[in-house]
Amino acid sequence: MKKQITVGVIGCGYWGPMLVRNFRSLPDCHLKAVCDVNTERLKHIRTLYPDTEGMTHPQQLLNGSDLDAVVIATPVKNHYSLAKTSLLAGKHTFIEKPMASSSAECEELIQIAERNGLILMLDHTFLFSSPVQKIAQIVQAGDLGEIRYINCRRLNLGLFQKDINVAWDLAPHDISIILHILDEFPTTINCQGNAHITPGVEDVTNMSLFFSRKRFATIQSSWLEPRKIREMTIVGTRRMVVYDDLRTREKIRIYDARVERPPHYDTFAEFQYSYHYGDSYIPYLHQEEPLKLACQHFIDCIETNSQPLTNGRRGLEMVRILEAASASLKMNGAPVTFSSSNRPVPAFAPVKAEELPRVEAFAG
């Protein structure tokens, strides 16, 4: 009989209970313990799952529970310290996004995991969703032609965070999808925004990511919108895709639409754009909970000693982009470019990567 992977979850706030539910549902996983400093949250989880141990201090879970793996679903400011302790204790570690508050912290966690032969995985949940997997297949098959741009809107009223701004809270979902679809790291980033409710913590941001071959992506993030919107548009030279994650069904619609320039013309009067309006269609999607697939992937990677799709390197890329966005915010939207090592360097100044000051988790 195959040995079950014993798992503990730290953090029972908003996302933690969903992780608890999904890990507990996996046949080759034994959810042994949960931890939260809030005794009321802990009591609620233990009411739902009375056979699970409850603890109020992470050290109790890390040192005394005989776990194979630890899942971290706490505020971002605690990710690094908890993940480092977990990895040094020899536990495979699953971290909620973003990975840590700085790229230096991410690099250290990756080194510890590699040195100790441990699986380090990030919860970039949307990469396990059937709509995103279908879009990636369509793009990789060349059905859209060359990608021109991607436009993302992730808007709602709340939930306001205190330790990170809206870009660090909401944009990681879109960034992970964009990097997965384009399979490329951006060359330049700029970001603008404002803090209306909590001083120093932006609640509205607009981010632009520039890639090679004149491709770019825009990400609008807000905690101040009256409507909840989760929409992404991918525009190619042949076709276009609209992905609306809030639709219960028909989350993806593909439009056979494009605009073309005439190959040559003699006078401006002869110049005519060619607009093509074809049919739209909705591809079939096999719906399965993405978070459950992500949790199962983590367990599978532990059992096979395989690198996760969303490994530590992917988490590091994400934080480098968020750091660059924070640097741009502090410079009123000035562009920040990446060197060959993917480290942010202000585009308007000849500054070496190592001279760029560390950026906190939010622009103050």
In terms of domains, do 114 and 260 share one? no
Q: At residue 281, does pLDDT exceed 90?
A: no
In terms of domains, do 82 and 221 share one? no
Phi-psi region of 312 (alpha: psi -120 to 50; beta: other; left: phi over 0): alpha
Q: At residue 280, does pLDDT exceed 90?
A: no
Q: Among 157-166, 222-231, 277-286, which is the least confidently predicted range?
A: 277-286
Residues of the chain with pLDDT > 70, as a percent, come to 87
Q: At residue 348, does pLDDT exceed 90?
A: no
Q: At residue 268, does pLDDT exceed 60?
A: no
In terms of domains, do 151 and 244 share one? yes
In terms of domains, do 39 and 114 share one? yes
Q: Which is nearest to 159 in space by CA: 221, 218, 99? A: 221
Residue 160's SS3 state is coil
pLDDT digits (tens, 9 = 90+) for 82-121: 999 999 999 999 999 999 999 999 999 999 999 999 999 9
In terms of domains, do 356 and 212 share one? yes
Q: At residue 305, does pLDDT exceed 80?
A: yes
Q: Which is nearest to 122 in space by CA: 65, 76, 55? A: 76
User: Would you say 347 and 336 are in contact if contact means Cβ atoms under 8 Å apart?
Assistant: yes
Residues of the chain with pLDDT > 90, as a percent, come to 79
Q: At residue 149, does pLDDT exceed 50?
A: yes
CATH number for the domain harbouring residue 105: 3.40.50.720
Global pTM value: 0.89
Q: What's the confidence (pLDDT) of residue 262?
A: 63
Q: What's the confidence (pLDDT) of residue 266?
A: 57
Residue 81 corresponds to which amino acid? S
What is the extent of the structural domain holding 213?
Answer: 126-289+307-364
In terms of domains, do 184 and 301 share one? no
User: Would you say 312 and 109 are in contact if contact means Cβ atoms under 8 Å apart?
Assistant: yes
In terms of domains, do 104 and 201 share one? no
In terms of domains, do 344 and 240 share one? yes
Q: At residue 355, does pLDDT exceed 80?
A: no
In terms of domains, do 245 and 140 share one? yes
Domain end point (choices 278, 306, 334): 306
In terms of domains, do 187 and 324 share one? yes
User: Would you say 173 and 132 are in contact if contact means Cβ atoms under 8 Å apart?
Assistant: no
Q: What's the confidence (pLDDT) of residue 249?
A: 85
CATH number for the domain harbouring residue 265: 3.30.360.10
Residues in a beta bridge with 33 = 8, 53
In terms of domains, do 20 and 39 share one? yes
pLDDT digits (tens, 9 = 90+) for 237-265: 999 999 999 998 899 999 987 676 666 65
Task: Say how far apart CA 267 and CA 262 lie, in whole Å.
Answer: 12
Domain end point (choices 306, 333, 353): 306
Q: Which is nearest to 109 in space by CA: 338, 327, 318? A: 318
pLDDT digits (tens, 9 = 90+) for 194-231: 999 999 999 999 999 999 999 999 999 999 999 999 99
How large is the C-alpha radius of gyration of the chain?
22
Provide the domain count of the chain.
Answer: 2
Average pLDDT value over all residues in the chain: 90
Q: Which is nearest to 188 in space by CA: 359, 342, 339, 338? A: 338
- Give, as one character, the DSSP assignment of residue 268: G
Residues in a beta bridge with 35 = 10, 55
Which pLDDT band, with edges at 50, 70 and 90, does 362 fall under? very low
In terms of domains, do 229 and 276 share one? yes
* Exposure class string for 18-56: b at 16+ Cβ within 10 A, else e: ebbbbbbebeebbbbbbbbeeeebbeebeeeeeebbbbe
